[in-house]
Homo-oligomer: A and B are copies of this chain.
Amino acid sequence: MKLLKVDTIQQVLDKMEYQFRDIKLSTEEINILEVVGRTAAEEILSQYNIPDFNRSTVDGYAIVASDTFGVTDSIPVFLDVIGQVEMGKATNIVINKGQAAYVPTGGMVPSGADAVIMIEYIEEMDNKTIAAYSATAPGENIIRIGDDVAAGASLIHKGKLIKPQDIGAMAAAGIRQINVYEKPRVAVISTGDEIADPFGDIEAGEIRDINTYTLSAMLEEMGAAVTVRKVIKDEFELLRSNVEAALENNHIVIISGGSSVGTKDVTAKVIDCLGEPGVFVHGMAVKPGKPTIIGKAKGRALFGLPGHPVSAVMVFKVLVGHFIAKLMNRDHFSLQIPAECSTNVHSSPGKETFQMVELQQIGNGYLAVPLHGKSGAISLVSKAHGFVRIPHNKEGISKGEIVMVEVL
């Protein structure tokens, strides 16, 4: 029984690291308006100082700070107003001791001035004179050139998944397009004589395909491009020719179903006949997800995922998701939610266990409620907010224990 020689997840990840070391993504230049959800393939440096002039953060008067030293709300200093700065315009005003100029919020601070005193703290005596009633420190209410981002400073690191707020930062820094990794191309094939296209009529004994649709949507959410979606009968030659065709132009081929030790198991044989090294993982010490197959042929990664929808989703997250993140050098701030487990959870000794959970907010925290049931495969996957990993050397989870929930 080949399935008995199973690897731990760490062994599987190590083998993947080694076998897939030469699978690389190319990069492409993309306009920053299209770049949310893509991954930076280079470090992005600011082309400019932000701001590139000394900028006032308040409506007030640009002054020489030392003029106000010792000033109180009963002993003001009187300053000569020598002009006002227009918003969005350069100014050639120069402030000397004893002088002031009006500056609006966001306006350029004239040279010579080293602080801005807020209008709340001054009184206009006449057109040409203000009384200042507050001691103002040098630098107060000014953002200096490059204070926010200095020219040449790193804005986005290589491997960063670009979020909406990064677009604004790049826009501010005058960056129009950046290098991102191409989308990994993935073929998703479901196999099994009982699996039918969900959009056709089905015969008695058949079930509608779930995995092709779930896995494709998860791949697209991760930033991959799904180029093939197919349901194929468990016939060696049919599966072989379809997988071989899919290897042509994809980085990854996922075959779901057909990986139990049943009579119709052909996935491993197909992978083995397509080229070296073929199957290098056959069985994994996890629950669920034991009948997982991983191979390589013609320089492409092949994953044989279990047919059971819950197992397929979790093995996908843990192995395929991991590999795709690696391909993109993603630093992978993968969001996990600390939560208190609502009940005891048993695990199988010697196996890493994945437990689907639903999250319920309680005060400043979450309760993780395990979802069970042999029967509720589809309902489980749709209802779960995430899953918890129980390492192979840990005996279950106790009620009240804090666990990290990986979000689905």
Cβ A208 vs Cβ B378 within 8 A: no
Cβ A207 vs Cβ B106 within 8 A: yes
Closest chain B residue, CB of each to CB of A339 = B338
Of A88, A199, A216, most B-chain CB atoms within 10 Å: A88
Copies per complex of this chain: 2
The answer to whether the Cβ of A18 comes within 8 Å of any Cβ in the partner chain is no
The answer to whether the Cβ of A352 comes within 8 Å of any Cβ in the partner chain is no
The answer to whether the Cβ of A211 comes within 8 Å of any Cβ in the partner chain is yes
Closest chain B residue, CB of each to CB of A55 = B207
Cβ B165 vs Cβ A88 within 8 A: no
Q: Which residues of chain B come closer than 8 Å to A87, judged between CB atoms?
A: 192-194, 205, 234, 264
- With A and B bound together, what is the CA distance between A195 and B335 in angstroms? 35
Q: Please give the distance in Å from A2's CB to the nearest CB on chain B.
A: 15
The answer to whether the Cβ of A167 comes within 8 Å of any Cβ in the partner chain is yes
- With A and B bound together, what is the CA distance between A156 and B361 in angstroms? 20
On chain A, which size bracket covers the interface? 35 or more
The answer to whether the Cβ of A260 comes within 8 Å of any Cβ in the partner chain is yes
- With A and B bound together, what is the CA distance between A101 and B330 in angstroms? 51
Q: List 30 A-B contacts (CB under 8 A).
A: A50-B378, A57-B374, A59-B261, A86-B193, A86-B205, A88-B196, A88-B206, A89-B205, A91-B205, A105-B260, A105-B262, A106-B192, A106-B194, A107-B205, A149-B379, A155-B382, A163-B382, A164-B216, A165-B214, A165-B218, A165-B381, A165-B384, A168-B217, A168-B382, A169-B381, A170-B213, A171-B212, A176-B199, A335-B337, A337-B337
Interface residues of A (CB under 8 A from B): 32-33, 36, 50-53, 55, 57, 59, 86-91, 104-108, 143-144, 147-149, 155-156, 163-174, 176, 192-196, 198-199, 203-214, 216-218, 220-221, 234, 260-264, 307, 309, 313, 333, 335-338, 359, 361, 364-366, 374-379, 381-382, 384-385, 402-404, 407-408
